[in-house]
C-alpha cells in the first residue's frame, strides 16, 4: 500500500492545498496530514487516500455542537442535555502530543451510547468535513507533516469520503461566496482534480463500513461512558418561579425533576425519592440551605449524593460555608441553561 512520498515535516512555506490533496488521493495515503498556519491547525485523517475525518483547531466543539443541533430535529436522542454532556466529557481532554481528535472521540462516544447510529455518524462526519475542507482550501502559507498510521493506532471508522467530490463541493461554495462578495476564493488551478463541473454541487460518495473496527486504540480514550439513563434531580427552593425556571432548563427525556418549595418538608421527600443530584437554594426561611445540606450528609443514603448550592452570593465566606457542610458544588445566580447542565453532568459523571 502506497504512502505519500514527502518528508515527515516541512517548515513554514507557501502552501498549495489542492496539490497536497491531489497527492493524498493519487498515492492512496494512510495517516494524518497535519497542516499549521498562523491562525489554526488542520488534521485530515486518511485511509487509502480516502478521508476518515477532518477537523481544525478553531472551536471544534462549537462546530460539532452546531451540526448536532441541526441533526436534533431528525434525531430525538440529541437533546440539549446530551450535547452538553458531550462537551463536559471531551472538550477539556488533553490532546495527544502529535494529533487533535477530541471531537472525533466525542462522535465515537455518541455511537457507543446509541445516541447516533453509524450511518448517522457518517452523515455528521461528511457535513463537518465540508466545513473544515472549505477553510483548508484558503491556506496560503504554513507548515505540514504526515503522521504515520502506526502512530495513530486503531479507532472506529464510520465512513470513507472521496476527496475529489468533497473538494469540488467546497470550491463551488467558495465561488458562490466570491460572487456575492462575502469571501475571497482560491485562485489556484483546479486541474489537479479532473472532470470538474462547476455548475453542479456534487454529492460526496460515502462508503460506510458494515462493521466498526474496535481494535485497541493508542489515542486518548474517552472517560468511562454513562449508559443512557433518566436522572432524578431534586430542586429545593422557596421560590416557585426559580423552580419552574430550573424545570424548563431540564425539560427533556434525560431528567425527572422533583420540585420542593418547603425546606422543612424537603428531607422526607428526598429520602422517599432518592434523587441522583440535589440543587439546594441557600437562602430559605426556617431552614437555610447550609443546614439542610448538613442534615442530608448525616443520612447514610446521601453521604455521596451530589449536592449543589444555588445562591446569588459569590463571597469567600459563602463558599467556605458550602465546603464546611460538604456541598459538592456552588452555582451562582443568575445562571444559564448551559451553566446548569455543565454543573449537573460534571457531578453525575
Task: Provide the mean pLDDT of the chain.
Answer: 78
Instruction: Convert the pLDDT of each residue in 228-258 to its tens digit.
Output: 468 899 998 888 888 888 888 887 777 889 9
Mean pLDDT of 47-68: 92
**Torsion sign (Cα): 1, 30, 160, 218:** positive
Identify the pLDDT of residue 244. Answer: 87
Mean pLDDT of 269-296: 86
User: Can you give the residue ranges of every domain in the chain?
Assistant: 9-179, 231-348
Instruction: Convert the pLDDT of each residue in 185-200 to its tens digit.
Output: 433 334 344 333 333 3
Is the pTM higher than 0.75? The answer reads no
Lowest mean pLDDT among 33-42, 61-70, 80-89: 80-89
In this model, does residue 205 exceed pLDDT 60? no
Mean pLDDT of 215-225: 36
Q: Are strands 231-236 and 277-281 parallel, antiparallel or unpaired?
A: parallel
Length of the chain: 349
Classify domain 231-348 at the CATH topology level.
Rossmann fold (3.40.50)
Q: Hey, how many other C-beta atoms are within 10 angstroms of the C-beta on 307?
A: 26
Distance CA 114, CA 205 (A): 24
Identify the pLDDT of residue 12. Answer: 64
In this model, does residue 318 exceed pLDDT 80? no
Lowest mean pLDDT among 6-15, 288-297, 303-312: 6-15
C-alpha cell at position 127: 457535513
Identify the pLDDT of residue 221. Answer: 37
The most confident of 8-17, 146-155, 167-176, 283-292, by mean pLDDT: 167-176
> What b-and-e string marks burial along 50-69, b requiring 16 or more CB atoms within 10 Å of the CB?
bbbbbbbeeebbebbbeebe
SS (H, E, C) 85-147: HHHHHHCCCCCECCECCHHHHHHHHHHHCCCCCHHHHHHHHHHHHHHHHHHHCCCCEEEEEEE
Nearest to 343 by CA among 326, 331, 325: 331
Instruction: Convert the pLDDT of each residue in 335-344 to its tens digit.
Output: 888 888 888 8
The most confident of 56-70, 287-301, 305-319, by mean pLDDT: 56-70
In this model, does residue 226 exceed pLDDT 50? no
pLDDT band at 151 (very low <50, low <70, confident <90, very high): low
Amino acid at each position: 500500500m502506497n504512502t505519500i512520498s514527502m518528508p515527515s515535516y516541512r517548515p513554514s512555506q507557501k502552501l498549495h492545498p489542492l496539490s497536497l490533496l491531489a497527492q493524498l488521493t493519487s498515492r492512496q495515503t494512510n495517516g494524518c496530514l497535519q497542516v499549521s498556519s498562523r491562525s489554526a491547525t488542520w488534521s485530515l485523517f486518511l485511509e487509502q487516500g480516502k478521508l476518515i475525518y477532518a477537523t481544525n483547531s478553531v472551536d471544534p466543539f462549537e462546530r460539532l455542537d452546531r451540526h448536532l443541533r441541526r441533526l436534533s430535529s431528525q434525531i430525538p436522542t440529541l437533546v440539549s442535555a446530551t450535547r452538553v454532556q458531550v462537551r463536559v466529557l471531551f472538550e477539556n481532554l488533553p490532546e495527544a502530543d502529535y494529533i487533535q481528535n477530541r471531537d472525533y472521540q466525542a462522535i465515537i462516544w455518541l455511537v457507543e451510547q446509541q445516541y447516533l447510529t453509524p450511518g448517522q455518524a457518517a452523515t455528521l462526519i461528511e457535513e463537518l468535513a465540508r466545513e473544515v475542507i472549505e477553510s483548508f482550501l484558503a491556506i496560503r502559507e504554513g507548515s505540514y507533516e504526515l503522521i504515520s498510521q502506526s502512530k495513530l493506532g486503531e479507532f472506529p471508522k464510520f465512513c470513507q469520503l472521496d476527496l475529489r467530490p468533497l473538494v469540488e463541493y467546497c470550491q463551488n461554495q467558495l465561488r458562490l461566496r466570491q460572487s456575492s462578495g462575502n469571501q475571497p476564493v482560491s485562485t489556484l488551478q483546479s486541474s489537479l482534480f479532473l472532470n470538474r463541473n462547476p455548475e453542479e454541487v456534487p454529492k460526496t460518495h460515502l462508503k460506510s463500513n458494515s462493521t466498526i473496527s474496535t481494535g485497541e486504540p493508542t489515542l486518548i480514550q474517552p472517560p468511562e461512558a454513562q449508559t443512557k439513563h433518566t436522572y432524578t434531580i431534586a430542586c429545593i427552593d422557596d421560590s416557585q418561579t426559580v423552580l419552574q425556571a430550573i424545570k424548563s432548563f431540564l425539560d427533556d427525556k434525560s431528567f425527572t425533576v422533583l420540585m420542593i418549595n418547603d425546606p422543612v418538608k424537603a428531607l422526607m421527600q428526598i429520602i422517599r425519592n432518592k434523587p441522583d443530584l440535589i440543587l439546594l437554594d441557600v437562602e430559605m426561611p426556617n431552614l437555610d440551605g447550609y443546614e439542610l445540606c448538613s442534615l442530608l450528609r448525616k443520612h447514610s443514603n446521601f453521604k455521596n449524593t451530589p449536592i449543589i448550592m444555588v445562591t446569588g452570593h459569590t463571597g469567600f465566606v459563602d463558599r467556605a460555608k458550602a465546603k464546611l457542610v460538604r456541598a459538592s458544588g456552588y452555582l451562582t445566580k443568575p445562571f444559564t441553561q448551559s451553566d446548569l447542565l455543565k454543573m449537573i453532568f460534571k457531578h453525575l459523571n
